[in-house]
Amino acid sequence: MSHHHFLVVAGNIGVGKSTLVEGLARRLGWQAAFEPHAENPYLADFYQSMPTWSFHSQTFFLSKRLEQHFRIGLRETSVIQDRSLYEDAEIFARNLFEQGHMSARDWRTYHDLYTTMSMAIPAPDLVIYLRAPVSTLLDRIAERNRGYEQSIPPDYLERLNDLYNRWANGFQLCPLASIDACALDWRKAGDLDQVVEVVRQRLTLGT
């Protein structure tokens, strides 16, 4: 049986993950796994009282992502995943904790659950981490014009960027390729080619 590769594309809001995942899936003939879009039943409560409901809300997101990772492990094809379990925990949930929106007790329980999950699921063969400054993220968020994203404050994106860099620097479950996405547009064949080349090199080296 040929080896099925599992690739994760990681990065902040607006950095171009989905566009890159689509392009790579098309170019490599792999399946794309996009963010699970199940309606979070805690969100309305969470926005009313973050400290009360952040644990519930984040655990819901984690369970949906775990389900996605588990299904990826069962697939008979190579898969490219748009954002990962690791980011849910180490960037988004950690940010809630560090901002005081999740209690230390809830964070410990959540993080213990996540840590065990991350050991139980198949690790990716490669993580592609897309980085870009907040100015670039804001430009791209404005360009794609999703209503709910237009009010995201720059300092929130800055905090997520810091958390992403901390996470990427310490990530050890598999090789991680950090790509400066600032000047790259995955809709352009030449820019997409650069990343395809990174994937081909890193995965051939890693098998």
Q: Which of 45, 82, 88, 106 is catalytic?
A: 82
Tokens of 30: 């792999």
CA distance 134 to 165: 13
Place of tokens 């490669």: 126
Tokens of 168: 């990427």
CA distance 8 to 161: 18
For the beta carbon of residue 147, count every other beta carbon within 10 angstroms. 6
CA distance 22 to 41: 29
Assess whether 112 carries a catalytic annotation: no
Q: How many CA atoms lie within 13 A of 50 on its CB side?
A: 10
Active-site positions? 82
